[in-house]
Structure 1
């Protein structure tokens, strides 16, 4: 076979050919021109973003004698040999299949010898996170003090699996996902060089399907070229990627705007019957909603649109649908996208989402109509005290008002000069709802020792995470922990929700905690505003545990004993409850009375004492 895939033929040979990584390529070029290169580099980032290509270009540039503006000439003997993989001094190793101690020891021994035909000996270790612990230890000393004229370049897609001792001895460069525009520019250049016909509108569709990877984009483009007989059209790209045409999306959105559930479900069935991918369908709807929203807010900035074509139908839909509706649609579609990851029946979730979307504005409209009807009915009710219904409602309102005043007086007398915290703003209908069942199960086995241990290593854990993951957990703190679970409180609801949905982050936290404390607890996220409420409900549940015999509550918080028990038996009965209460972080509590109100029996005893001896003679003391 003489044919080679596009991503192999058009692998970048200069730094300027690497799309979307200008900050990294500029830094490396300046370091080469100023002769300030390091002995070890770590290239991290998603697949197909240029890590291995960048390592090979760096190997050529550092050994090229005709360097120009930090770029290799690609014409000298050394550059050609490295490009063809024929230079013995540039060693590329796949750590996935060479991850043992012996392989790394062999590298360590051979690194001592000088380069034979180049100025520098370059070791490129791909997927370095696959190395075993022993292999990392064998590499550590060599990486710290390598022989002269030896450079190590480590590449990985999972930097969180690399020991910190390795990362600290390298210069780290994080390759980011390539945006749609840069991918389109690169594909346009390749198609022009290959002298192939293409439709401009087809390139953004390929770029979006690639998910930020140039290699994936060129692979999809290769399929589209073969499918269309050396011509790239929108229709062919749609068939290859399983994406939706704008006309089909406009029909679907029309069903949503007109609240036509039947039409929406029919379109959905046609889309699925054509073999369209469910995840791609939801992704296209989210991006199209985003384009509508952007066009509504800034119609003159068409360059911000992510592939949508601004035609008459698009403008008409933009004028018809409201921004609030688009916000709610994106929320619903985002939730559906998350649910599709964990189900074997994506069509069910898509049907549910379609029904919700088509009835979204209808519900709001019905609510508005019913509210107006209620207002009109209230106007018809005569405002006279002779109406028995009004009299009954006024009596109930008066009774409730007295009860509220009584509660306020009693509450102020009990709390005294206790500080009151300002009421926090509610997040509305989209407030994150934590898993209280899982939280209660963690609190049931939580201990103060586990919580203290995890709090002490929490800063070390943050340092082990990537920059993005560290930013997400920066405003978080452990509040309860047990042998198998950890509850983490977040200052912001949105960060709590993102962390909960980020399975990669949760797995990284679990693995790193396993390295730091010897076990990896299951992490449960809870918003900081809701944690005191859940915590208080749990404490009340502990105090009101059911029993078949009559129990007496003592003034000690949470202690439950029987009348005929000895002191030792009472302490033994109190121990489990006390242990669970201590496991909950009480640093933010003003008083335990906030969460454990006095029992009705205590109030009754105090009232009877005041009746017998007089209010001035009775003094209530809390031990």
Structure 2
């Protein structure tokens, strides 16, 4: 008898043959039973989970000569021809090869005609996400208002690539990965009926390798059984698939726990001699430590992963590591796995990652006690520093209280002379050479700056958007030969703009936009307007004196400036 691949021989021919998709099957059968079949379906999910098989079974169910029925008979002429792909009214289209707008337009023309051999025309479009945008647009109208005799079934592994307008016109079914138990049970049934002697551990490992895809699991079983003459053992599966037994990873983890670099490198070399790839070893080791972490943190973690075959062995190894170690190991392996994709020598990166993990700190009980003692010492040392700071604060509070009572600094005249004058925060300073700015306020250079001001602001925004947020509050007031005067409405915006780093950004933009090395000079807009209204022949020194005179507020509190001087702006909070 000619050998037929298992994934073809065991392809589901009816809904009851489907594995792991009971919720979808029941919904489709109820729709057929109640004659509420939709005109368009979207089957999405991982590869090998039965999307195309379900589409063909649905096509047979609605066209069966003894139906429509929840299950096709698979015996009538229509069912047999649909199974063989020989019925013209049931078309399976590969969107990866027919993805253009012309193919979809041709489909739209054929949709108009009634079926010739079956009850209903069914178009199964596989990998529909591969269609072009134009093809989707051409399909849209047909999906929205198809003829009564037409059904569309779209299948895809990447539904997020489909336009929302397409998805909204379909009934969507999400096929899930088949669980480990369901796959293992199905592989057992197939093995018995095909006369294959297979170990339970081997079938479980095949199910793990398939990542929830029943088709991949059957294909792997077929490959291994063909090579071994119908006998499938755990060791043979590992050897043919390039897998690594958990015992070998346990040995590697034990060597890393002991910081035995020589044994770690020897185990890696053994992997390479056996024909394992470094990236596959890295991936499996990452899964191994992930499972160790789950078992350590969750008592029933063996139910959360399909990779743990013997939880008791994992629990023993998991107890040897702390959670912090496992977290760090997973982070390190994940980092090097990403780097390995672009490495010309992946084995070297794999070895470096393992050697780095050998140096992971071991948090034993003794080290925990030492850390606790160190923390206590640090706490005692910290408390001494806190006491010293409290004494200094008490002294400063007494000094400040005395100052507030007297209204003058508590320090001696000699100290006061050597101490910088307290800053007056009531008004911003007047820039020097005010008479020059007043004289050039209507100059051609200033006109040029005004004309380019929008470009200058945009240039500052392109360079650094945070600087632009402050600088946009200012407006150009005047221009001299080497300086641009900008007047601000808000003093905080002006002070922030005056910071050296921010000022440098603005001056660089001025140079690039005007071609001249202008310096940025700022002042408050109200001061500029006062200067314009006053005598234009006043000297800058007179304006400064006038400004200082205006700054004398009868309600001013000089101790605030003294506090700012003593403690600094970051530590002083002023409250009414």
Q: Please indicate the TM-score interval, normalised by the length of the shorter structure.
A: 0.5 to 0.7
CA distance in 1, matches of 2:34, 2:391: 80
For the residues of structure 1 that align with 2:157 and 2:492, how far apart are their CA atoms? Answer: 49
Q: 1:268 to 1:98 in 2, by over 3 A?
A: same
Q: In the aligned structure 1, how far is the partner of 2:62 from the partner of 2:233?
A: 42
Conserved 8 A contact 1:7-1:215: yes
User: Aligned pair in 2 of structure 1 residues 567, 398: CA closer, same or farther (>3 Å)?
Assistant: farther
Residue 319 of structure 1: aligned partner: 319
Shift of residue 305 of structure 1?
5.0
SS of the residue corresponding to residue 48 of structure 2 reads coil
What is the match of residue 196 of structure 2?
Answer: 196
Structure number, greater radius of gyration: 2
RMSD: 4.5
Q: 3-state SS of the aligned residue for 1:360?
A: coil
Question: Which runs of structure 2 are paired with 1:594-613 in the superposition (5 Å)?
Answer: 596=496, 599=499, 613=548
State the distance in 2 between where 1:582 and 1:311 align. 55
Aligned to 1:617: 552
CA distance 1:378–1:297, shift in 2 (3 Å):
closer
2:449 is the alignment partner of 1:569: yes
Write out aligned runs for 1:149-298 (5 A): 149-297=149-297
Cα shift at 1:299? 4.9
Write the deviation string for residues 528-565 of structure 1: whole angstroms up to 9, x where unpaired: xxxxxxxxxxxxxxxxxxxxxxx99xxxxxxxxxxx97
Q: What's the CA shift for 1:9?
A: 1.1
Q: Aligned partners of 2:256 and 2:232: how far apart in 1?
A: 32
Number of aligned pairs? Answer: 450
Aligned twin of 1:527:
none
User: For the structure 1 residues 376 and 143, does the alpha-carbon distance in structure 2 shift closer, same or farther, using more than 3 Å as the test?
Assistant: closer
Distance in 1 of aligned mates of 2:225 and 2:176 = 27
1:354 is displaced (CA, Å) by 0.7
Residues 100, 596 of structure 1: alpha-carbon distance in 2 compared, 3 angstrom cutoff: same
Summarize deviations over 1:362-396 as a string: whole Å, max 9, x none. 489998698579689989x9x9xxxxxx9xx9699
Distance 2:271 2:345 in 1: 15
CA deviation vs aligned residue, 1:469-488 (integer Å, no higher than 9, x gap): xxxxxxxxxxxxxxxxxxxx
- Choose 280-289 or 593-602, whichever is displaced more: 593-602
Gaps of at least 5 residues in structure 2 are 401-430, 433-443, 471-490, 504-520, 525-540, 562-576
Which SS does the other structure have where 1:43 is aligned?
strand
Does structure 2 conserve the Cα–Cα contact (< 8 Å) formed by 1:252 and 1:264?
A: yes
Q: How much has 1:77 moved relative to structure 2?
A: 2.3
CA distance in structure 1 between the partners assigned to 2:359 and 2:375 by the alignment: 24
TM-score normalised by the chain length of structure 1: 0.62
Is 2:255–2:261's contact at 8 Å kept on the other side of the alignment? yes
Unpaired runs of at least 5, structure 1: 384-389, 410-550, 553-563
- Compute the displacement of 1:595 (Å): 11
Give the SS at the match of 2:243.
Answer: coil
Report the CA distance shift for 1:354/1:236 in structure 2 as closer, same or farther (over 3 A). Answer: same
CA distance in 2, matches of 1:16, 1:592: 75
Alignment check: 8 A CA contact 2:325 2:362 kept: no
1:155-200 CA-to-partner distances (Å, cap 9, x unmatched) read 2223333333322222222223333333222222211221211111
Query: Are 1:261 and 1:359, in contact at CA under 8 Å, matched by a contact in 2?
Result: no
Corresponding residue of 2:570: none
Contact 2:302 2:308 in 1 (8 A): no
Counterpart secondary structure, 2:140: helix
**Alpha carbons 1:259, 1:362 under 8 Å: kept:** no
CA contact (8 A) 2:461 2:467 kept: no
Map of 2:506 onto structure 1: none
Q: TM-score, normalised by structure 2?
A: 0.66
Instruction: Give 1:237 deviation, angstroms.
Output: 0.8
Counterparts of 1:455-474 in structure 2 under 5 Å?
none
1:258-291 CA deviation, whole Å, 9 max, x = no partner?
Answer: 2323322221222123221333323322333343
Residues 133 and 89 of structure 1, relative CA distance in 2, 3 Å threshold: same
Give the CA deviation at 1:205: 1.8
User: 2:537 aligns to what?
Assistant: none
**C-alpha distance in structure 2 between counterparts of 1:378 and 1:129, whole Å:** 61
> Aligned runs of 1:81-96 on 2, under 5 Å?
81-96=81-96
1:61-100, Cα deviation, whole Å (9 max, x unpaired)? 1112445972222222221221122222211122222233
